[in-house]
Structure 1
Amino acid sequence: MPPLPSLRWSSRRYNTRADKTEKEPANLVIDCGVYVEGRRLLDQCTYQQALDEVRKRGTGFVWLGLMEPSNELMTDVAIAFGLHELAVEDAVHAHQRPKLERYDDILFLVLRTVRYHEHELNSVAEIVDTGDIMVFLGADFVITVRHGDQTGLAGVRKVLEANPSQLQLGPASVLHAVADHVVDAYVDVTQEIEDDVAEMEEAVFTPANKIVIEAIYQLKREVVELRRAVKPLALPLQLLTHDQRLPLPKEIRRYMRDVTDHHTAVTEQIMDFDESLSALINAALAKVSVQQNTDMRKISAYAAMAAVPTMIAGIYGMNFDHMPELRWTYGYGGVIALMVLLCGLLYYTFHRNNWL
């Protein structure tokens, strides 16, 4: 076989955000194609017709794409392609943990998809939402099952169909392309989160800036959700890269290393986000505590200043006949002057000690 071009096609040949389309209806066959020698045949056919064509030719493979299939549709597909019932059950129900399972000669890979939502810095809205992509890989077929519209695969299919030399590697090339596309989405989301964390750090450490603690907690919660979606995929990628017992071509296994490296970098970056946000929470709480102490000092200072005239007025408000200077002509003015003088001395003292 002649040398193949790099399979690192999906990272920057198209923008993963630009690949978004309107949400497809559920329980739908998105696309079904027959690929022979890297070329697509039979544009309009059912998955049973496509599978019959491939097995009649004895070469090529079927790529079937499903969107949130019902139990009935998935059962029919399982009968046609010989899928295991446990894997079929997982494919019907979303929110599965990333994993790789083998049922005889069929591999079942679960990936979590992620999407970033634009938001205001101090908002507490959802920032990251997740979905699922399941991949069934057989000797002459690959089935992709999507849950959620976080990461579409139309662009992946289009790019692969434009590169027949990649599709000649068989259905494993589709598995690599899907995994690469999902990990590229992880990279995009972590870059957005990195900007959010940087803005949050600037807000926290800017003097006299109002801090919304809830926004930091919300960002940390979203980072935790992102970590739960991304981190468990490490083991399946390691198996696809290094486990020689899995039915993957050597060429695909080599290119899976690049996907694994990118995933490792993303995972480490997410862990850094988690640590940075924990430090930000502590810093923000300390800043709020300092502000509260400052406010309490001001309140105490003003209360002390108010207590002096209150005390003097209270003493001269008592109804006794014999009190010092009670009938003094300048008594009222003298008492007022004394109040002002004492309050002024207290204000000067508190101001000099940075209480006011």
Structure 2
Amino acid sequence: MALERTNGRDAGAERSPAAVGQQADAAGHRPGVVAAAVYQHGRRLRDIRIEEAGEWRNREGVVIWIGLHEPDQELLRQVQLEFDLNDLAIEDAGKAHQRPKLEIYGEAIFVVARTAHMTGEEIAFGETHLFVGRGYVVSVRHGPSTSYMAVRQRCEASPAALAHGEHYVLYSILDFIVDNYMPVVEAIHGEVEALEDRLLRDRLAKADIEHLYMLRRNLLRLRNAVVPLVDVCRRHEHLELPGMEVAMQPLFRDVTDHVRRVQEDIDALREVLAFTFEASLMIGQSEQTEISRKLASWAAILAVPTAIAGIYGMNFEQMPELRFRYGYFVVLAIIIALCVTLYRFFRRARWL
């Protein structure tokens, strides 16, 4: 049976928490439940309530797919009872700011992934927790993450692929998360190129340095979200996970390749930003050195008349050349000659 790869780049529009809540109410779900449906052999049967999930478990070819957005503890406990989820996993799912990871609890797995997408010119970071077991997938979103309704629609449009069950749903969500990293990296790449062009034309201003620092900080946050996900996806390439099919390995290998490419792009951008900052410092130091050389050159030139005038400005009666008729003109000519000589010397040395 051929598997189709979902592409996160043509996902649906982002949805605010208010819109998600309106959708949940319209579908008759309780607050915090975005969608809850049951599928058999890849085809959607109907929407269900959380309390009905236990009735459909362990049926042949049935997968229950539930999507939650910032659920309360009561809702999480209800989901735990219906799917017999681990206490530690439920405790982690109730809190945001978890590190991306994959944990195995018996015949079920718990996956944490960090999400990122552009909201205008800012990067919005969110978090997704996934419970995957035999016949069910429960996704828990925290923060301003993009809705997975587009992923659900694409999976429903391909019943043959969705018939592979819960691990195909897991793959589709992870692929969607990873693909959403790319627009963020591309946006940062454009800003980095703009900083590089500005550096070549002129010195970076203080605002540019502050913007450079913000870009480095965003790249670090994005890297902290991406790098642990490499290991999470890599583990899905092997048959060490409960219920993993051989046919799913190429799909998860593809996701792993995408994550690694994102990681490489992030590392490359961080190196470019580091070089841009160092180049800005070197240009500033070079300009300061040039100014210091000019000041030193003019100080040396002005030291000649200052020294001669200081000597002949002493109030002694017995001094040579005091009675010389053309002494002033001779001294003035000597001063000019010495100053011109020094000026030409510094010009040849490129100090002036």
Match of 1:243 in 2: 239
Q: Are positions 1:31 and 2:17 aligned together?
A: no
Partner residue of 2:187 out of 178, 185, 192: 192
Give the Cα–Cα distance (whole angstroms) in 2 for the partners of residues 278 and 38 of structure 1. Answer: 49
Match of 2:100 in 1: 98
Within-5 A mapping of 1:53-92: 53-55=55-57, 59-92=61-94
Letter in 1 for 2:75: L
Q: Deviation of residue 147 (structure 1)?
A: 1.5
> Greater CA deviation, 182-191 or 268-277?
268-277
Cα RMSD (Å)? 3.3
Give the Cα–Cα distance (whole angstroms) in 1 for the partners of residues 337 and 42 of structure 2. Answer: 95
Q: Deviation of residue 145 (structure 1)?
A: 0.9
- For structure 1, which runs of at least 5 residues remain unmatched after alignment? 120-126
Q: Are positions 1:292 and 2:285 aligned together?
A: no
> Greater CA deviation, 66-75 or 304-313?
304-313
Partner residue of 2:153 out of 138, 152, 158: 158
Report the secondary structure of 1:242's partner residue: coil
Partner residue of 2:266 out of 249, 252, 270: 270
Q: Deviation of residue 341 (structure 1)?
A: 5.4
Cα distance change on mapping 1:348 and 1:139 into 2, 3 Å: same
Q: Deviation of residue 166 (structure 1)?
A: 2.7
Cα distance change on mapping 1:174 and 1:346 into 2, 3 Å: same
Give the Cα–Cα distance (whole angstroms) in 2 for the partners of residues 150 and 176 of structure 1. Answer: 17
Cα distance change on mapping 1:314 and 1:110 into 2, 3 Å: same
Cα distance change on mapping 1:341 and 1:194 into 2, 3 Å: same
Within-5 A mapping of 1:1-356: 3-4=1-2, 6-12=3-9, 14-15=10-11, 19-24=13-18, 28-43=32-47, 45-49=48-52, 51-55=53-57, 59-116=61-118, 128-204=123-199, 206=200, 209-211=202-204, 212-315=208-311, 318-320=314-316, 342-356=338-352
Q: Percent same amino acid among aligned pairs? A: 38
Report the secondary structure of 1:107's partner residue: strand
Letter in 2 for 1:302: W
Report the secondary structure of 2:16's partner residue: coil
Q: Is the 1:19–1:154 Cα contact (8 Å) retained in structure 2?
A: no
Give the Cα–Cα distance (whole angstroms) in 2 for the partners of residues 97 and 245 of structure 1. Answer: 20
Q: Is the 2:162–2:168 Cα contact (8 Å) retained in structure 1?
A: yes
Q: Deviation of residue 333 (structure 1)?
A: 7.7
**Residues 32-62 of structure 1: per-residue CA shift (max 9 Å, x gap):** 222233333444x43113x145249665222
Give the Cα–Cα distance (whole angstroms) in 1 for the partners of residues 233 and 326 of structure 2. Answer: 93
Give the Cα–Cα distance (whole angstroms) in 1 for the partners of residues 168 and 72 of structure 2. Answer: 27
Q: Is the 1:29–1:66 Cα contact (8 Å) retained in structure 2?
A: yes
> Greater CA deviation, 29-38 or 338-347?
338-347
Letter in 2 for 1:142: V
Report the secondary structure of 2:237's partner residue: helix
Q: Deviation of residue 293 (structure 1)?
A: 1.5
Give the Cα–Cα distance (whole angstroms) in 1 for the partners of residues 49 and 351 of structure 2. Answer: 79
Cα distance change on mapping 1:288 and 1:243 into 2, 3 Å: farther
Q: Deviation of residue 160 (structure 1)?
A: 1.9
Letter in 1 for 2:64: V
Letter in 2 for 1:350: F
Give the Cα–Cα distance (whole angstroms) in 1 for the partners of residues 227 and 145 of structure 2. Answer: 18
Letter in 2 for 1:108: F
Give the Cα–Cα distance (whole angstroms) in 2 for the partners of residues 118 and 292 of structure 1. Answer: 39
Give the Cα–Cα distance (whole angstroms) in 2 for the partners of residues 196 and 219 of structure 1. Answer: 8
Q: Is the 1:108–1:137 Cα contact (8 Å) retained in structure 2?
A: yes
Letter in 2 for 1:287: I
Cα distance change on mapping 1:34 and 1:327 into 2, 3 Å: farther
Q: Deviation of residue 97 (structure 1)?
A: 1.6
Cα distance change on mapping 1:118 and 1:291 into 2, 3 Å: farther
Report the secondary structure of 1:149's partner residue: coil
Letter in 2 for 1:210: R
Cα distance change on mapping 1:328 and 1:265 into 2, 3 Å: same
Report the secondary structure of 2:293's partner residue: helix
What TM-score do the two structures reach when normalised by structure 1?
Answer: 0.80
Q: Deviation of residue 214 (structure 1)?
A: 4.7
Cα distance change on mapping 1:75 and 1:322 into 2, 3 Å: farther
Cα distance change on mapping 1:303 and 1:92 into 2, 3 Å: farther
Letter in 1 for 2:50: Y
Report the secondary structure of 2:6's partner residue: coil
- For structure 2, which runs of at least 5 residues remain unmatched after alignment? 22-30
Give the Cα–Cα distance (whole angstroms) in 1 for the partners of residues 305 and 120 of structure 2. Answer: 56
Letter in 1 for 2:41: E
Cα distance change on mapping 1:116 and 1:71 into 2, 3 Å: same
Give the Cα–Cα distance (whole angstroms) in 2 for the partners of residues 302 and 118 of structure 1. Answer: 53
Cα distance change on mapping 1:222 and 1:72 into 2, 3 Å: same
Letter in 2 for 1:222: N
Give the Cα–Cα distance (whole angstroms) in 2 for the partners of residues 324 and 270 of structure 1. Answer: 77
What TM-score do the two structures reach when normalised by structure 2?
Answer: 0.81
